[in-house]
Amino acid sequence: MHGSRHGHHHHHGPDSGHDHGGGAVAKPAAAWSPFHRLGAYAELVWPAIAGVALLSGYICERQEITVVAWVLYAIAYAAGGWEATRDGLKQLRHARLDIDFLMVIAAIGAALVGEFVEGGLLLFLFSLGHGLEHLALDRARSAVTALAKIAPKFARVRAADGSEREVPVEEVALGDVVVVRPGERIAADGTVIEGRSGVDQSPMTGESMPVDKEPGEPVFAGSINGDGALVVRVTQLASDTLVARMVRLVAEAQASKSTAERAAERFTRIYVPCVLVATAAAIVVPPLAGWLSWPVAFMRAMSMLIGASPCALAISTPAAVLAGLARAARGGVLVKGGAHLESLGMVRAVAVDKTGTITRGKPELSALMCAEGVREEELLRIAASVESTSSHPIARAVLDAARARGIEVPAPVDSAAVKGKGVEATVDGVRAGVGKALLFEGHALLVRDAKLEAFAAEIQAQAMTAMIVVHGKRALGAIGVSDRQRDEAKQAVASLRALGCEVVMLTGDNAATAAHVAGEVGIVKIEAGLMPEHKIDFVHKLVAEYGAIAMVGDGVNDAPALAASTVGIAMGHGGTDVALEAADVALMADDLTRLPFAVELGRATRTMIKQNVIFSMSVVVGLIPLTLFGIFPLSLAVICHEGSTVLVALHGLRLLSRHDRFARKA
């Protein structure tokens, strides 16, 4: 669907490497450790054993209990080096040299020259660093994967006879009726058919306030019902709910690697063999040249080996990317991978569709004028009756407006559509019509009213669809229907412009309507009357002009343009399945303020990655000469090296607590 721009994301299972080794997603400790019952802290058991054994061995050596000291050092080496040895050998079998392998060699080298404490300290801190990194990354990962636990396991299904029974959500079928009591989590995606209540949708959409639900409104599995009972007709199976879809997309996002992660892996593959060659040279050249003794040269080479290992570089990118993905999901933005999160940070222009994106995508009755002596109820009663047989969105808007006012709509007779003009029908035994003034020219229903026609022209200039309502020889009034802009659209456009992003409207609608809507929300650049293939052409032009652009849309006709842009963004609620599939990012609440939030988060992630890379490489560059010339001993090199790795991981996690300054105020 994404074409060559996106490529294919392959899932990397537990065997796909290690965090130190190249930035792959950390594997669960439970799959490998005999201490798996300890859960998230299992990987800290090995370093704990290593640390206790090392300290005990050092005390025994000082007390000259030599044999016991050697046994304790052996335990410390085995416990501290277990993870690194296993992962290093695994990579070696695939003809790859990684950082774990370097650390094991350095520790063995230290032991060969009698520096058991330094070697044990290296393995202890290295394994401790591994454990802390995994804890840090798991924290970021769990912030998103907790979504899987949101939806209830059972649903209360109402049978045809009115009885209720609890069944596993997997057994709930399309069309089933589910009862949701006050305070309960909703068990399935569906449409409300009875009841009214405020529903907390924040777990899925990031909306801070409960959303009022009434018959006809959609609800989502995992959201929390408020004070009223709801009866919901199921529209999605458990495997296709919004929650299930989000969990699947998050799993794919974590399996795919960002551009920076792939670059770090390529660098590590070349860099590690170079470090090994340099270490061998540092062992051999100084003694042969008469500069250093063999033991001193060996120890300095081992210290350099540790200092030159890019552990912090390997962890710097995945820590920031995972934290960024988690923060985005918590803010109502679902990003399908680290590469797309980075791309969001490069966006300099945003192309937006009009209908369903800037506007709600659902026409509503927006203006009304009654003729002299006509009541509003009568006008809407006749108009809704005439329109009641039509499935057109404008007809539904008129019918919904009448029903919302409690008006009883009579059934029409002999309804007929007049192409391009309106609809006719017999209501209360009299012929009636709803449509443009042209509908009534040269027709049996010829009625002219200058005031109504002037009103119709006025509201048409405001991008509304204007219609005159006639009953017999009497003009009842004029009504205007429009697809109203989203409340937050103006704020979102202003925020994007404040971030330095140009906003362009691409729409298939006519130029006058597009210009009116764009003017209302502050968009200056407009391209109207576009077919889907023309939208792609304009997307390509924008990419050429700005370098990186985001395209935001909600419909099937937007899917090609979403795929052609640098970052495709779909409206999550109203968006079609095709648009969601083609997009790289989904706004789960259809809240446009999530656009500037996503762009700023992408920029923050890119900045965080750059800071981590610069810091980690600065430590490496600093440690190489300090260890090679004997300024830093092995123990200090170990502490600096592993300390920088943990600092980089924790620095990346700061994204989890990033403030959302674009959130709409309640």
User: For residue 521, what are the CA distances in angstroms to 486, 511, 512?
Assistant: 9, 16, 15
Assign 531 to helix, strand or coil: coil
* CB-based contact 246:333 (threshold 8 Å): no
Q: DSSP code of 170?
A: G
Least confident residue range of 218-227, 281-290, 372-381, 447-456: 447-456
Q: Are residues 108 and 207 in the same domain?
A: no
Average pLDDT estimate for 629-650:
83
Domain termination residue (choose one: 442, 457, 482):
482
How much helix, strand and coil, in percent to the nearest 5, is found in the chain? 55, 15, 30
Laid out side by side, the sheet with 164-168 consists of: 164-168, 154-158, 177-180, 230-234, 190-194, 218-219
Euclidean distance between CA atoms 519 and 511, whole angstroms:
12
Q: Are residues 111 and 9 in the same domain?
A: yes
Q: How many domains does the chain have?
A: 4
Average pLDDT estimate for 595-616:
94
Q: Are residues 384 and 475 in the same domain?
A: yes
Domain boundaries, position 610: 4-145+250-327+605-657
Least confident residue range of 17-21, 183-187, 283-287: 17-21
In this model, does residue 417 exceed pLDDT 70?
yes
Instruction: Identify the pLDDT of residue 569.
Output: 92
Average pLDDT estimate for 434-447:
62
Q: Is residue 666 part of a domain?
A: no
* pLDDT tens sequence across 172-188: 999 999 999 988 889 88
In this model, does residue 248 exceed pLDDT 80?
no
Instruction: Identify the pLDDT of residue 4.
Output: 34
Q: Is residue 665 part of a domain?
A: no
What value does the mean pLDDT of the chain take?
80
Residue 440 banded pLDDT, cuts 50, 70, 90:
low
Instruction: Identify the pLDDT of residue 33.
Output: 44
* pLDDT tens sequence across 465-493: 888 898 888 889 999 988 888 889 999 99
Across 239-243, 265-269, 328-332, 564-568, which has the greatest mean pLDDT? Answer: 564-568
Please pick, among 353, 449, 483, 591, the residue that the annotation labels catalytic: 353
Q: Is residue 91 part of a domain?
A: yes
Residue 409 banded pLDDT, cuts 50, 70, 90:
very high
* CB-based contact 547:349 (threshold 8 Å): no
* pLDDT tens sequence across 84-107: 888 778 877 877 777 777 778 878
Least confident residue range of 15-24, 299-308, 536-545, 594-603: 15-24
Assign 168 to helix, strand or coil: strand
189 included as an active-site residue = no
Euclidean distance between CA atoms 470 and 448, whole angstroms:
10
Q: Are residues 222 and 287 in the same domain?
A: no
Instruction: Identify the pLDDT of residue 579.
Output: 57
In this model, does residue 37 exceed pLDDT 50?
no
* pLDDT tens sequence across 115-168: 788 778 878 877 876 776 666 556 545 544 555 566 788 899 999 888 999 999
In this model, does residue 31 exceed pLDDT 60?
no
Instruction: Identify the pLDDT of residue 426.
Output: 92
Tell me, letter by letter, the H, E, C secondary structure of 180-232: ECCCCECCCCEEEEECCEEEECHHHHCCCCCEEECCCCEECCCCEECCCCEEE
Q: Residue 317 corresponds to which tokens in the numbers above?
A: 């990118």
Q: Are residues 294 and 346 in the same domain?
A: no
Q: Are residues 513 and 408 in the same domain?
A: no
Which residues make Cβ contacts (< 8 Å) with residue 288, sequence separation at least 6? none
414 phi/psi in degrees, rounded to 5: 55, 50
Q: Are residues 222 and 194 in the same domain?
A: yes
Q: Are residues 12 and 124 in the same domain?
A: yes
Whole-prediction pTM: 0.67
* pLDDT tens sequence across 508-536: 777 877 888 899 999 999 998 887 778 88
Q: Is residue 468 part of a domain?
A: yes
Which residues make Cβ contacts (< 8 Å) with residue 641, sequence separation at least 6? 306, 307, 309, 311, 312, 619, 623
Distance of CA 399 to the CA centre of its chain: 37
